[in-house]
Amino acid sequence: MTGFDQAAYDRDGFVVLQDHLAPAEVDVLVTEFEHLVATPSPALILESDGTTVRGHHGGHLVSDVFADLVRLPRFLSLSEDVLGGPVYVHQFKINAKRALVGDHWEWHQDFTFWHLEDGMPRPRAVNFALFLDDVTEFNGPLTFVPGSHRGGQVSTETRAGTSWTDTLSSTLRHQITPATLEAALAGREMVAPKGPRGTVVMFDSLLLHASSSNLSPFDRRMVVLTYNSVENALATVEDPRPEFVAARDVDPLEAVPDHALERRVGSSR
């Protein structure tokens, strides 16, 4: 497990953590994800075709496997160090990005949605993207503008929409214009971290990012864990998104043993 590079994180807004999950741990997570998405649930988001699973939210609230995952010290301790104290899970999602049909995610900053939709006061949150499949240039990798987090929250144009699902579809409610993206790219270039399953990308909530559609015959499943400081609790908003999308329970997490997932290897449901 590669150590965390604080200087690189501060400079670029992201770091890649190689071999952060063992192959057997990834197998456990994949099995659990496929079990969850086989069951109808309000937490399931579909692609525009109305049938293909785009993602699942709040898995840590209904699955012991994912409840252990968010409490592993390799994620929990690192998020506490970066955010300066106890944390809770603001958001837990798994993006399916199915082979050939997994759609794109438009350019955005996560904090824009958490601030405007959920009432998060400050960008005192951090993401961990866990690769459940090998990520290549062909299956829709995350694409970043390194250093863009240092420019703060950018302006957006808001599309019409009345449902919380409009914040999770391939046409996002809060849209970044070409001019805004061009300005953010001045003196910078886009990068798309790739790597084998088990790789983790840790990134700032203000980092501009997107992902293209999956052009390959292989899935690109990815867990995204978002930790928020307990001192950064969400404000009251009108018509809040469901708890499984944006949590309002700020009880700090307590760690489980770092081998908690290994104990589940080979177990049957």
pLDDT digits 0-9 by tens, 6-37: 999 999 999 999 999 999 999 999 999 999 99
**232-248 average pLDDT score:** 95
The predicted structure's pLDDT at residue 3:
74
- The whole-number pLDDT of residue 98 equals 96
pLDDT of residue 135: 98
Return the pLDDT at 29. 97
Average pLDDT over residues 115-122: 96
Long-range residue pairs from 68-71, CB within 8 A, at least 24 positions apart, any chain: 68/256, 68/260, 68/261, 68/264, 69/29, 69/223, 69/225, 69/261, 70/225, 70/253, 71/253, 71/254, 71/255, 71/256, 71/260
- pLDDT for residue 1: 45
pLDDT in tens, 157-181: 887 766 777 667 767 888 899 999 9
Whether 238 shows a pLDDT value over 50: the answer reads yes
Q: Report domain extents, the chain.
A: 18-264
Assign domain 18-264 one CATH number from 3.10.110.10, 3.30.428.10, 3.30.310.50, 2.60.120.620: 2.60.120.620
Q: What is the 3-state secondary structure (H, E, C) of 186-225?
A: CCCCCECCCECCCCEEEEECCCCEEECCCCCCCCCCEEEE
Average pLDDT of 254-261?
Answer: 96
The predicted model gives 133-144 an average pLDDT of 98
pLDDT band, very low/low/confident/very high, at 121 (cuts 50, 70, 90): very high
